Amino acid sequence: MVGRNSQFVYEGKGDILLLACGALAAEILALIRMNGWDHFHLHCLPAKLHLYPDKIPQEVEKAVNKFKSEFKHIFVVYADCGTGGLLRKKCDEMGIEMIPGPHCYAFFEGVEKFNKTAENEITSFYLTDFLVRQFNSFIIKPLGLDKHPDLKEMYFGNYTKLVYLAQTEDQDLTRLAKDYAELLELEYERRFTGYGDLAQTLNNLHPNQ
């Protein structure tokens, strides 16, 4: 899977680079395999940048500058991801396209559908496959709940439900998501989304672009 150039998670045959969040690596690779999209190269930035969203625009810019001489087309596979519009502004300045939407929850469920349902779900806490797998690394430890479980009420007291937006039919992940809902003392709902708008957006990127 990793080609002769180790800086790429996937090394294809074309001149399109997907510059993506590491939290989406598994999903993008799955789509590449399923669809035979060998015209893509994939380079991922560290998923833990989500813990410091103010750093995402500058790290994306660094990566674009690093690779722009090698590829005809670079596509940023991030949503806004908590940057307050700064990532979109940076991509516009560089003339680089990015996936639309406020965050990955939205484009997995479908941005239009998510925006409609989110208005009535302001007390819902969302997980994706990645966040279920990395629950301890991305939620428990950064919030200090491993050492101070009493902080749970402060962080999650205003939530009423945990919604697991599932990209795959994985019984182990489903079980874990339900366990995490119980841990946080929230109602539990699972919705199978598949890859949503991510699949359609990548499908629309063709070698001749």
pLDDT in tens, 106-116: 889 988 888 88
Specify the CATH architecture of the domain 16-104+196-203.
3-Layer(aba) Sandwich (3.40)
What pLDDT is attached to residue 208? 58
30 backbone dihedrals φ, ψ, rounded to 5°: -65, -40
Q: What is the DSSP string of 61-93?
A: HHHHHHHTTT-SEEEEE---TTSTTHHHHHHHH
What pLDDT is attached to residue 113? 87
Report residue 102's pLDDT band, with 50, 70 and 90 as the boundaries. Answer: confident
What pLDDT is attached to residue 103? 85
Domain span(s) for CATH 3.40.50 in the chain: 16-104+196-203
What pLDDT is attached to residue 2? 38
The residue that leads in pLDDT, 120 or 98, is 98
Asked whether residue 134 carries a pLDDT value surpassing 80, the answer given is yes
Asked whether residue 172 carries a pLDDT value surpassing 50, the answer given is yes
Asked whether residue 88 carries a pLDDT value surpassing 90, the answer given is yes
Report residue 153's pLDDT band, with 50, 70 and 90 as the boundaries. Answer: very high
Among the listed ranges 30-34, 48-52, 77-81, 114-118, which one has the minimum average pLDDT value?
114-118
Distance from chain centroid for Cα 208: 26
Contact (Cβ atoms closer than 8 angstroms) between residue 167 and residue 195: yes
